[in-house]
Amino acid sequence: MRSTIFIWSRRGNMSTNVILARMGEVTLKGLNRGKFEAQLKNNLKYRLRDFGKLKIYQSQSRIYIEAKEEGNPVFENEKSAEQILHAVTQVFGIVSASLAYKFNCDDIEGVQENALTYVRGFLQLHPEYKTFKVESKRGNKRFPMKSPEICDYVGGYILENVPSLTVNVKEPDFILHVEIRDDNYVYAGKTMGHRGLPVGTSGKGMLLLSGGIDSPVAGYMMASRGMQLDAVYFHSFPYTSDQAKQKVIDLARIVSRFSGKMNLYVVNFTKIQLDMVKNSPEDMITITMRRVMLQIAEQLALKTGCGCLITGESLGQVASQTLEAINITNEVVKLPILRPLIGMDKEATCDLSRKIGAFETSILPYEDCCTVFVAKHPKTHPKHEDIEKAEANLDIAGMVNDGVTQGLEVIEI
């Protein structure tokens, strides 16, 4: 049957109507695979909630995203389609994604025409591209041509109609993929995703978020292993300004682009901190403070169904991150403390921070709680007797209880 070219939801010269996303590690899962895939689709749905009504479905190791009905503005121009592509690649579990054009026809003329429209749109985003080649796959064996022939015909047609392009089979600027299946697809270019596992498949963790460079990266890393996040921030107004708090909220938003919905718990830490400085030796303040923070975080974690705490600690980076200090802070909580940056170099952390778009926010120069109260020369190798002495005059249990009850603010991110 020779049908006319069926073009649906094409508006103007728009050449994209579907995003094709590839799954990675998820597809290696055995019996659980279905659960992982369902979670991934849910996460995509949540991440793309501002982009209008979308249909998200899966076939083999791919997920397809397209407009539910005609006229979704996202697919109206190349720029907004690129935004949605960017959002898709930020969802953990996606290895890469491409803007594609899906069409339905069963003759080579239709394929040629649709491929040409796609290429013209694609070149609007990448005007610098001068060479290309065509690769094709034929899943629908009823299609009258074989793959090499399809490549010839489509490539030739594009060469004729786009004078700025030439063919280069060894090192093309882009490869045009033509797939003939039940539906046909053309696409070029591939945006790499953040890989990992879908958030929500590895439980939930409570991230201690400070406003620095490390903690957002730590959150990102755990989320990349499928962990859902809540976060806690210790606010000491007026020693830390509301701008510092806003900065933490902004950082939580940045992390949540990857990790999905989260609650940010803002603990009113002022009184606790003042009591602490008044009643314990200055050189142990940092350690004592961290021990109380961890206990407050653990209480919140237990209340909100988190199975672990997450910190941005890196061995030896500052006084409270020596092995001795880590030992002494670790022992006050029962939940495991995950420290994904423990062996990472600061430069590598900064690179990752830049990659997730947190760096510029992290380095904004507002005071944060760690800087105001700390001693000039904190103890770097604290011993048990030191901490016993330091806490002798403190009502630790009272402080922890105050932290989770007095003036606790919950911000939905």
Partner 1 sequence: MIYFDNSATTKPCEAVADVLSREIRSEDMWANPGSIHKIGVKCDKAYKDALTKTSALLGCKASEIVFTSCGTESTNTALRGYLAANKRAGKTVISTRTEHKATLETLALLESEGYKVVYIDVDRDGKPLLDQLENAVNEDTALLSFTHVNNETGSILPLPEITAIRDRKNPSAKIYLDCVQSLGKLQIDLSKMNVDMAGFSGHKIHSVKGVGVLYVRDGIRFAPLVRGGGQQEGRRSGTLSLLLADAFTAALEEAVSKREDAYKRVSEINSYLREELIKRNAVINSPEDALPFVLNVAFEGFQSETMLHCLEIYDIYVSTVSACSSKSKKVSYVLTEMGVRRELAANSCRLSFSRYNTMEEAKIFIEKLDEIYDLYLVKKR
Decide whether 72 or 236 has the Cβ nearer to partner 1: 236
408: its two tokens: 């606790």
246 binds partner 1 (CB under 8 A): no
Decide whether 202 or 270 has the Cβ nearer to partner 1: 270
Decide whether 161 or 393 has the Cβ nearer to partner 1: 393
* Contact characters 344-383, partner 1, x per CB under 8 A: ---------------------x-x----xx-x--------
Question: What is the 3-state secondary structure of 222-252?
Answer: HHHECCEEEEEEEECCCCCCHHHHHHHHHHH
Phi, psi of 55 (to 5 degrees): -105, 125
Decide whether 206 or 287 has the Cβ nearer to partner 1: 287
Place of tokens 């069409």: 103
Q: How far from chain centre, in Å, is Cα 214? A: 15
Using the rule CB under 8 A, give the single segment among 77-85, 231-239, 293-301, 346-354 that binds partner 1. 231-239
Nearest distance from C-beta of residue 157 to partner 1, angstroms: 55
Residue from the set 280, 288, 314, 329 that interacts with partner 1 by CB under 8 A = 280
Residue from the set 42, 135, 237, 253 that interacts with partner 1 by CB under 8 A = 237
Nearest distance from C-beta of residue 364 to partner 1, angstroms: 9
DSSP 3-state helix, strand, coil percentages of the chain (rounded to 5)? Answer: 45, 20, 35
Nearest distance from C-beta of residue 234 to partner 1, angstroms: 16
Q: How many residues bind partner 1 (CB under 8 A)?
A: 18
Decide whether 281 or 307 has the Cβ nearer to partner 1: 281
Nearest distance from C-beta of residue 318 to partner 1, angstroms: 19
- H/E stretch holding 328: helix 323-330
Decide whether 342 or 375 has the Cβ nearer to partner 1: 375
Contact by Cβ (8 Å): 20, 97: yes
Dist. CA 49–CA 181, nearest whole Å:
29
Decide whether 279 or 317 has the Cβ nearer to partner 1: 279
Residue from the set 52, 203, 281, 357 that interacts with partner 1 by CB under 8 A = 281
Residue from the set 80, 279, 304, 317 that interacts with partner 1 by CB under 8 A = 279
Nearest distance from C-beta of residue 376 to partner 1, angstroms: 11
Measuring CA to CA, which residue among 75, 82, 131, 140 is closest to residue 111? Answer: 140
Residue from the set 2, 278, 334, 377 that interacts with partner 1 by CB under 8 A = 278
Residue from the set 203, 282, 304, 401 that interacts with partner 1 by CB under 8 A = 282
Nearest distance from C-beta of residue 365 to partner 1, angstroms: 5
250 binds partner 1 (CB under 8 A): no
Contact by Cβ (8 Å): 200, 43: yes
Residue from the set 25, 183, 195, 239 that interacts with partner 1 by CB under 8 A = 239
Nearest distance from C-beta of residue 293 to partner 1, angstroms: 18
Nearest distance from C-beta of residue 274 to partner 1, angstroms: 7
β-strands 337-338, 308-310 pairing: parallel
Dist. CA 360–CA 366, nearest whole Å:
13
Decide whether 343 or 365 has the Cβ nearer to partner 1: 365
54: its two tokens: 């979308």
- H/E stretch holding 373: helix 369-373
Dist. CA 305–CA 302, nearest whole Å:
5
Using CB under 8 A as the binding rule, the residues of this chain from 101 to 140 that contact partner 1 are none
Residue from the set 238, 347, 388, 412 that interacts with partner 1 by CB under 8 A = 238
Using the rule CB under 8 A, give the single segment among 133-141, 160-168, 239-247, 322-330 that binds partner 1. 239-247
Residue 281: is the preceding peptide bond cis (ω within 30°)?
no
Decide whether 243 or 327 has the Cβ nearer to partner 1: 243
Which residues contact partner 1 by CB under 8 A?
Answer: 237-239, 241-242, 270, 274, 277-282, 365, 367, 372-373, 375
